[in-house]
Chains A and B, each alone.
Chain A
Amino acid sequence: MQFDLDIQKTLRSGRRSFHLNLRLQSDSERLVILGPSGAGKSQALRAIAGLLRPDSGRIMVGGAVLFDAAQRINLEPQARRMGYLFQDYALFPHLSVRQNIAFGETPGWRNPGTQASSEGVERWLAAFHLDHLAHQLPGELSGGQRQRVALARALVAQPAALLLDEPFAALDPDLRVVLRGELDRLQRELALPMILISHDVADAEVFGDHVVRMQDGATEGATEGAIDTLDGPALILAEKQTQE
């Protein structure tokens, strides 16, 4: 099983509470979670990366148990080896493109130097045509270039899987098509398991070997026991938002 996810979490903000309830199993290397904004997709991705601790459930990626409430297993985000692409890319604004990409390869308390180099850094700088931008700061880059830097930064760390949060939302429509193609080829080449979350059906068409829909307040009845199998239609998730 590539992904085995069972995530329950109640989030509270003031008097509002939001219940995240995601259960899905998939053998596919390319999983797309599709849903409108506010459906809790990002929170689900954060839970997989270890940035949000579920109240209960179990998270397995590629056979490795990352979280299991029953067995009191909860790996730190540092130990999960997830390549995370944030929606606005979250590049470190004080570091150059090269330093950003070398960031995860440089452990300890000091940032990589301006000349930081390694096989991985050079490989991804070249692969994404970023060589000539290596000394620029993220603030000086275009949207597409930022996305490539963020991808390179995640890939240099040799992740066990890629988690992509609306990777194309910040881009122009034309560029979106180009970069979808790039990511598509890249994923096939690396055979790296990935979960992509999006509100855009076009993303699901390109990457959705397995598409899961996540909806605000959708079929409350589906919360229990609706575990998806690979070929089945993929509505597995229930989500509800209540005012208390």
Chain B
Amino acid sequence: MHPTWTALALSLKVACWATAIALVLGVAVGFLLARRRFPGRELLDTLLTLPMVMPPTVLGYYLLVLLGRKGWIGQRLQDWFGINLIFTWQGAVIAAAIVAFPLVFKPARAAFETVDGRLEDAARVLGISEAGVFLRVTLPLAWRGILAGALLAFARAMGEFGATLMVAGSIPGRTQTLSIAVYEAVQAGQDDIANTLVLITSAVCIAVLLTAGRLAPGRVAHR
């Protein structure tokens, strides 16, 4: 396969996994923060929003410290399971998931907070279990906001550069994602490759944003 397509395929793979992880965790944490009151709730919200504002290289450094061979988590993964995440595409997934996470959990929390608690109560009184209430009332009423966030997270994960480079490096065919390939191409003076990569990236991002716009809250479609 042409290196350009390899980079695109890798970027899509990393972005899909990262979005899936950010989506599951973001929905769970967003729901928790919207529905439960506990001390330190807003502090937790702030900490979890940090990846949105911190420089990705700083995040990447944190991840290296945690996941590296001598890291708190990395050493245990190595000792217990023989897993090493540094310089792997799975490492890139973790970096991208963390950067993308606030883009899911913030809108998810906001979306859950707009769901009227009385609708959930109405379902409970009608005999529906808590899991049923969540899946049949809460989630369907919040999913537009969550999905719009997930698409932004996907776009962000596609474009991730700093943290990914720190954690996964730039191994062509293995960890060299589209955005890193662009950087390498420009560095090497291969303008034609850079042009192709940039056009592909732009097209993917525009498509994602258009989709996100169609799903954004406020555009209520009647079925």
Residues of chain A touching chain B, judged by Cβ–Cβ distance below 8 Å, are 46, 49-51, 76-84, 86, 88, 90, 92-94, 103-104, 107-111, 137, 153-154, 157
| Closest-CB distance, A86 to chain B (whole angstroms) | 6
- A104–B127 alpha-carbon span in the complex (Å): 6
- Residues on B with C-beta less than 8 A from A107 are 127-129, 132
Kindly provide the distance from the CB of A98 to the nearest chain B CB, expressed in whole angstroms.
Answer: 13
Q: Are B126 and A157 in touch, CB under 8 angstroms?
A: yes
With A107-B132, A110-B136 given, is the CB distance from A94 to B125 under 8 Å? no
Contact residues in B for A92 (Cβ distance below 8 Å): 119, 122-123, 137
**Of listed B118, B122, B222, residue having the most chain A CB within 10 A:** B122
Closest CB-CB distance, A79 to chain B, in whole Å?
A: 8
Are B126 and A103 in contact, with the CB atoms below 8 A? Answer: yes
Other 12 A-B pairs with CB < 8 A, given A49-B121, A94-B140, A103-B136 = A51-B121, A77-B124, A84-B122, A90-B122, A92-B122, A93-B141, A104-B128, A107-B127, A108-B132, A109-B136, A111-B140, A157-B126
Query: In the complex, A46 Cα to B118 Cα: how many Å?
Result: 11
* Pair A109/B118 contact, Cβ less than 8 Å: no
Partner of A77 from B119, B125, B135, B140 at Cβ < 8 Å: B125
**Chain B contact residues, majority secondary structure:** helix
Provide 14 A-B residue pairs closer than 8 Å at the C-beta atoms, listed in order of the A residue: A46-B121, A50-B124, A76-B124, A78-B128, A82-B125, A83-B125, A84-B121, A86-B118, A88-B118, A92-B123, A92-B137, A93-B141, A103-B126, A104-B126
Q: Does B53 reach chain A (CB closer than 8 Å)?
A: no
CA distance A137 to B223 in the complex (A): 9
Contact B222 A137 (CB under 8 A): yes
Tell me how far the C-beta of B137 lies from the nearest C-beta in chain A, rounded to whole angstroms: 6
Complex interface: chain B residues within 8 A of A103 (CB): 123, 126, 128, 136
Closest CB in chain B relative to A90 CB, distance in Å: 4
Residue in A closest to B122 when the chains form the complex, CB atoms:
A90
A90 and B121 contact, CB distance less than 8 A: yes
B residues in contact (CB < 8 Å) with A? 116, 118-119, 121-129, 131-132, 135-137, 140-141, 222
Give chain A nearest CB distance to B92 CB in angstroms.
34
Instruction: Assess the B121–A77 pair: CB atoms within 8 A.
Output: yes
Most chain-A CB neighbours within 10 Å: which of B126, B128, B129, B140? B126
CB–CB B118/A90 < 8 A: yes
Give every chain A residue within 8 A of B141 (Cβ-Cβ): 93-94
> What is the CA–CA distance of A77 and B121 in the complex, to the nearest angstrom?
9
- In contact, B122 and A86 (Cβ under 8 angstroms): yes
Measured between alpha carbons, how far is A101 from B77 in the docked complex, in Å? 52
Residue with the greatest number of chain A CB neighbours at <10 A, chosen from B124, B125, B141, B222 = B125
Minimum C-beta distance from B29 to chain A (A): 21
**Are B119 and A78 within 8 A (Cβ)?**
no
**CB of B89 to closest CB in A, whole Å:** 34
The minimal Cβ–Cβ distance linking A102 to chain B, given in whole angstroms, is 10
B124: chain A residues within 8 A (beta carbon): 50-51, 76-78
CB atoms of A110 and B127 under 8 A apart: no
B126, A153: Cβ atoms under 8 Å?
Answer: yes
Chain A neighbourhood of B131, CB < 8 A: 109
Partner of A90 from B116, B132, B140, B222 at Cβ < 8 Å: B116
Report Cα–Cα, A83/B122, bound state, in Å. 9
A137→B128 CA distance, assembly (Å): 21
A84 with B123, Cβ < 8 A, contacts A90-B118, A92-B137, A111-B136 known: no
Shortest A109–chain B CB gap in Å is: 5
Contacts A86-B118, A90-B121, A137-B222 known; A110 to B135 CB distance under 8 Å?
yes
Nearest opposing residue in chain B for A94, CB measure: B140
Complex: A153 Cα to B127 Cα, angstroms: 12
Tell me if B122 and A157 are in contact (CB < 8 A). no
- 6 interchain residue pairs of minimum CB distance: A104-B126, A90-B122, A77-B124, A84-B125, A90-B118, A109-B135
CB distance from B94 to the nearest CB of A (A): 30
